[in-house]
Amino acid sequence: MAEGTKYSPVFACPHCAMPLAVTSNSATCPEGHSFDRAREGYFNLLVGGRLAKTATPGDTAESLAARRRFLNAGWYSRIAESLGDALGSIQGPVLDVGCGEGYYLSHINGTEKYGLDISKKAVQMASKSDPTSHFVVGTSFHLPILNQSCAAVFTVFAPHSFDEYRRILQPGGTWVTVTPGPSHLVEMRPQRDNKILEREEKRSEPPTEAADAVRIQFTLDLTDEAAHDLYTMTPLQFQASSAEAVHTVRTVSVDVWVSHGTLTESPASPRLSL
């Protein structure tokens, strides 16, 4: 192995699932698949380098900038604190699946921090602002992550797979998810009929896999700028059909589940198959 090369304890080749030998400019697996390091420091581990445009709806430069302003202003700091409490003290690698522009990863304790998102723009922003963490572009449903390599894994408001959590966690490892509760941002949502509301109630329960779930509820009295940013960064299904809400709504309910579980048994040797 060339001088200055070492194997990543976490990242796996998205083609063959083998470990990646990492240098300052590339990552290469024993099969010879090779990935260039981007200027900002991350690797693109999406097979083919990109997904269909439809895979990241609403994830524009504008919504990312809005999310960064809103989060850095501290409006969701209670969510970051609860996430930190649920993770506890982590000994070893921790992975943020769907890390966005990196706010939550930069707010948790840990010495070996890894982030993954399907949006290249988000990963660029995250790498730039947090050079001590390691970021990749990738998908949460086929994580380019070695089996049993992570001490903890978490996801905040982003797609994730419990099968993948189980595969990548070390025995005894912890997972944490933050998901919307029934009245999350209810003031910003369009009017719905009862059938839709019922379906949404079901979707806003904590995951059945959770050993424990804490419901965090609080109200925000937003400034005009924060209201605009929240509206811009929020996925379309939570937005009122008319853009009027952004001009009128200033008080919003935050309602989230912070759920967690521990992997007590070794998985039955699942493999990363892509």
Ligand X SMILES: C[S@@+](CC[C@H](N)C(=O)[O-])C[C@H]1O[C@@H](n2cnc3c(N)ncnc32)[C@H](O)[C@@H]1O
Question: Per-residue x/- mask for Zn ion, residues 5 to 44, rule CB under 5 A?
Answer: --------x-xx------------x-x-x-----------
- Residues 44-103, interacting with ligand X (CB under 6 A): 56, 59, 67, 98-100, 103
Task: State which residue, 119 or 174, has the beta carbon closest to ligand X.
Answer: 119
> Which two tokens mark 71?
């989060």
- First-last CA distance in the chain: 26
Tell which positions 240-259 bind ligand X, by CB under 6 A.
Answer: none
Could you tell me the two tokens for 177?
């998810």
Q: Which does 172 bind (CB under 5 to 8 A by kind): Zn ion, ligand X, none?
A: none
Residue 159 CB, shortest distance to ligand X, in Å, is: 4
158 binds ligand X per the rule CB under 6 A: yes
In the complex, what is the shortest distance from the CB of residue 142 to Zn ion, in angstroms, rounded to a whole number?
14
Q: And the tokens for 100?
A: 């966005």
Cβ 202 to Zn ion shortest distance, Å: 40
List the one residue out of 170, 134, 145 whose CA is nearest residue 267. 170
Are 70 and 185 in contact by the 8 Å Cβ rule? The answer is no
Question: Which residue bears the tokens 């978490």?
Answer: 154
Pairing type for strands 19-22 and 6-12 reads: antiparallel
Sheet holding 19-22, edge to edge: 6-12, 19-22, 26-28, 34-36
Closest residue to ligand X using C-beta atoms: 100
Between 99 and 150, name the residue whose CB sits nearer to ligand X.
Answer: 99
Residues 118-137 that bind ligand X (CB under 6 A): 118-119, 122
- State the Cα–Cα distance between residues 272 and 251, nearest whole angstrom: 45
Indicate which of Zn ion, ligand X, none lies near residue 29 (CB less than 5 to 8 Å, by partner kind).
Zn ion
